[in-house]
Structure 1
Amino acid sequence: MGGLGPRDTAPGRHESPEERADRRWAELLQEVRVIQTGVQILFGFLLTVVFTPRFATLQQTDKTIYVVTVLLGAATTGALVGTVTFHRLVAGHRLKPETVLWASRLSLVGIVLLLATVTSALLLILRIAMDNSAVPWVVAGLVGWFMLCWFALPAWILHRYSSRD
């Protein structure tokens, strides 16, 4: 048995830029599939609300929140579907690493828009369900929780473990 060379002892994967781009694209696509299902269900539900008898009885403020929520849901859907169409339009042009980078950024925009959509939907639903001054505090607490789970914990892990050498 021969000795281990630097390639064999270096931490991490040993893949070419093309292999890395292929792997990262497959990971991104799986992530988008998971989140897009939830977004489609939420957006579909939002589209039906305006056709219910109760909608006509809502205060103007609640109707405005509803419209904002639907627009945010549409923007979220656009960003997440955009990751796939981005790839489809540039596929075959030997731009996989660039495609992965930009599609990844677009999916992150979709996640931020999802946070805004969920926040707006929670505000609307809880205003109707609770009808009290605690609603903004409950929504703010949930937004804080989402921010912790979706952004702060991953950022902390990235900072803590990627700076180790």
Structure 2
Amino acid sequence: MSDNGGNLRRGRRETEEERADLRWSDLLQELRVVQTGVQILFGFLLTVVFQPRFTTPSETDQDIYPATVLLGAATTGALIGPVSFHRLLTGRRLKPQTVDWASRLTLVGMFLLLCTMASALLLILRLVLADSLALWLVLGMAAWFLLCWLVLPVWTRARHTSEPDEPSVLRGPGGGDS
């Protein structure tokens, strides 16, 4: 397929608005998946302090817990942010910009989710394992999350994309999410 300039393009011919609609739909599906996990994790974090075993946490655990709860709250905020963007900008003919900002917020939310997961794992594993082992296991899990959530997608995109149809959100403003 070629564009008006004769250059070969992959994919369908879509207007900017049609592309934004499809990207928005994809993003909503992604957010549905991640928001459920975040809500469960955040609910757990809010109740853990009331568990009998948590009544006498170490000084370090007393520092880790509030940091973890705040990270969970920040994650929730970032992943609900796209809904506010959509609601407040609907009907203003800003769909492409809305999708760009919602994509950025989602990436921020995913980074915060990684931090929340690592912090929650550290808190839990410190209660049942030696501190040094807990730390190594958390670092291993954080590396796993980075591999699954960042390295493999970026590697796949680089390997299978010769020229992107549009700028990427990872490369700067105005970019897309696919």
CA distance in 1: counterparts of 2:119 and 2:2, whole angstroms: 52
SS in 1 for 2:132: coil
**Structure 2 partner of 1:147:** 146
Structure 2: which amino acid aligns with 1:145?
Answer: W
**Structure 2 partner of 1:123:** 122
What is the number of equivalent residue pairs in this alignment? Answer: 160
Query: 1:25-79 CA deviation, whole Å, 9 max, x = no partner?
Result: 0000110010000000000010001122222211111121111100000000000
- 1:85-164 counterparts in 2 under 5 A? 85-163=84-162
Please identify runs of 4+ aligned residues in structure 1 that moved more than 3 A. Answer: none
CA distance in 2: counterparts of 1:59 and 1:39, whole angstroms: 26
Query: 1:63-119 CA deviation, whole Å, 9 max, x = no partner?
Result: 211111000000000000011111111111000000000000001000000000000
Structure 1: which amino acid aligns with 2:33?
Answer: V
Q: Relative to structure 2, which stretch is displaced further, 87-96 or 130-139?
A: 130-139
**Structure 2 partner of 1:52:** 51
Alignment TM-score, normalising by the size of structure 2: 0.85
Identical-pair percentage: 62
Higher share in helix: 1
Structure 2: which amino acid aligns with 1:81?
Answer: I
Instruction: Give 1 or 2 for the bigger CA radius of gyration.
Output: 1
Alignment TM-score, normalising by the size of structure 1: 0.92
Structure 1, unpaired ranges of 5+: none
CA distance in 2: counterparts of 1:134 and 1:53, whole angstroms: 24
